[in-house]
Amino acid sequence: MSYQADEATSEHVGRRVVLRTNAQFDALAGAFEQAVPELSDEAALAELRAGDWAGFVRGVQWESPSGFVRTATSHPAALLAHAGADARSVVWHLAHHAITARLFRHDPGTMLHLPLRVEAHTTRTPGTVLSFEVPSTVLAGYGVNKITQAGAELDRALGDLLEDIGLPRPSALRR
């Protein structure tokens, strides 16, 4: 069977922040994971079966002041070491359910950019590199004011999170 489809293409700007820190990898990863608790989609659904959305969001905020939870954690270095890579790396998928719900109501297609991805890795020099895309720059490409505003809220929450774990707020995430 074949389906008919109308195609649309849009250009959008992205902005990647790369923070080269003097933090030791395990210390930074540990601080990040302590500040952002793990909550899989399955666990979130189980919690929601016992309560309401507003109560769920309040509970997440109680457990994670930034509002973010880790929906997935990946350690690509374990696999890629077999290809000769020697850097350590971790990728976190971060969801902010309160903001994500609003984005989904305005355009479910925004889920292409959510959850947010934050990556940390080692280099040959001491320290850890932390990278992520600035949420507001990608979401502004939808051309919908409410989506752009939600992107700015994600920027603020991500900046707050970075400050909470001892990193400076990047200029791209200024309040």
pLDDT digit string, tens, across residues 95-113: 999 999 999 999 999 999 9
Q: Which of 92, 108, 89 has its CA nearest to residue 100?
A: 108
Helices (H), the chain: 25-35, 41-49, 53-63, 76-80, 97-106, 135-139, 145-164
pTM: 0.92
Find the Cα–Cα–Cα–Cα dihedral 52, 55, 33, 81, rounded to 10°: 10
Taking 90 as the threshold, does the pLDDT of residue 27 lie above it? yes
pLDDT (tens digit per residue) in 143-158: 999 999 999 999 999 9
pLDDT score of 50? 76
The CATH code for residues 17-168 is: 3.30.310.70
Distance CA 51, CA 71 (A): 20
